[in-house]
Chains A and B, each alone.
Chain A
């Protein structure tokens, strides 16, 4: 079953605008990761935010995490046509540092940035 649910399912914006995608999850987590996937290709890791962090930045990306609401958001500022892709959140559920790990992915948000 899908742990994360992204919202919206699809987003279409103009170059230069900001894009915000949201993710909700159900269980306690160690961390939450965001990935990008260009059509039919591999997943590119964007950012990891740990459960004890509330906000993280990487270039034009800003991720927030609210563990009380079990939700996260990904903001892409000053979007470019090259940002067109599917964006997935993935949660790593609680388990010790020595226990195994698994990522549970949401269904993704398809972002289209129009030139």
Chain B
């Protein structure tokens, strides 16, 4: 158990819908990262927040957005969902803003029908 929690574990929805994935980092960690794992793209970095501010951005679609709240939990919002958005979404956390060990949560499996 890494100490990072993610909810929900599974999510099934329809194309065009919007969903919110939630992540709570390890106690004391200020950085939160979001990654997407799909069969065709592998594991891809989406975005990083540190203490409420966006610090790094990867291949995140414009239909996706994230934020980190004052209590340091983070949410990833996915809208106008397409079949290709079906994937495992992981949250990770670390203490530092820069290079550091990242601890991953169990993931949310999103299925878009």
**Which residues 13-60 of A sit at the B interface, judged by CB distance below 8 A?**
30-31, 33, 35, 40-45, 48
B37-74 Cβ-contact flags toward A at 8 Å (1 or 0): 00000111100101000011010000000000000000
Q: How large is the interface on B (under 10, 10 to 19, 20 to 34, 35 or more residues)?
A: 20 to 34
Task: Report A-chain residues with C-beta under 8 Å of the C-beta of B100.
Answer: 101
The 6 closest A-B pairs by CB, nearest first: A100-B56, A100-B55, A105-B43, A30-B99, A43-B104, A42-B106
Q: Given A42-B107, A101-B55, 11 more contacts at CB 8 Å?
A: A2-B42, A45-B101, A90-B43, A95-B98, A99-B98, A101-B31, A101-B33, A103-B92, A103-B102, A104-B45, A105-B35
Interface contacts (Cβ under 8 Å), in number, total 80
A88 beta carbon closer than 8 Å to chain B: yes
Whether the Cβ atoms of A105 and B42 lie closer than 8 Å is yes
Q: Report the Cα distance A71→B98, complex, angstroms.
A: 22
Residues of A within 8 A of B (CB): 2, 30-31, 33, 35, 40-45, 48, 88, 90, 92, 95-108
Which label, helix, strand, loop or mixed, suits the secondary structure of the B interface?
strand
Q: Report the Cα distance A104→B58, complex, angstroms.
A: 10
Chain B residue, CB-CB nearest to A47: B101
Closest chain B CB from A41 CB (angstroms)? 7
Interface-centre pick from A40, A43, A90 (highest chain B CB count, 10 A) = A43
